[in-house]
Amino acid sequence: MSRRINGLQAWALQRFSAVFLIGFSLYVLLDLSINPVSGYSQWRSWLGQPLNSVLIMLASAMLLIHAWVGIRDVIMDYIHPLALRVLVLSLFALGLLASAAWLATILIKVLV
């Protein structure tokens, strides 16, 4: 059994992550326009709220998934030699994993 994502699953994942990111962006804009924050302590308090911290982690995961599916589709469409395609996909995967690790480090420092 293969664990690869087919075209319809990738399309659905791309759309779901986009809808989630739009909803998250609207939530942040609305929340910060109603309750503006200024200063580090207020930002830390805002980020430390359970709903906000969970949504930020989910939005981060969705952003990385959205970026991966999008760049994977573009690379598969436009880079035809298999070795070059694997190399470019691997470099992007490493870049996204490094971004995820960096983001996790930032969130841990802020939330703990």
Report the alpha-carbon distance of residue 93 to residue 101 in Å, rounded: 12
pTM of the full predicted structure? 0.85
Which CATH number covers residue 64? 1.20.1300.10
Average pLDDT, the chain: 91
Tell me, yes or no, whether 1 lies in a domain: no
pLDDT digits (tens, 9 = 90+) for 53-94: 899 999 999 999 999 999 999 999 999 999 999 999 999 999
Q: Which of 50, 77, 66 minimizes the C-alpha distance to 99?
A: 66
d(CA 20, CA 85): 29
Question: Does the pLDDT of residue 98 top 70, yes or no?
Answer: yes
Rounded distance, CA 18 to CA 36, Å?
26
Q: Number of folded domains in the chain?
A: 1
Model confidence at 28, pLDDT cuts 50, 70, 90, reads very high
Burial class of residue 71 in the structure, from the number of CB atoms within 10 Å of its CB (0-12 exposed, 13-18 middle, 19+ buried): middle
Question: 26 in a domain, yes or no?
Answer: yes
In which domain, by residue range, is 61 found? 7-111
Q: In this structure, is residue 2 part of a structural domain?
A: no
Using DSSP's 3-state secondary structure scheme, residue 20 falls into helix
Span 97-110, average pLDDT = 90
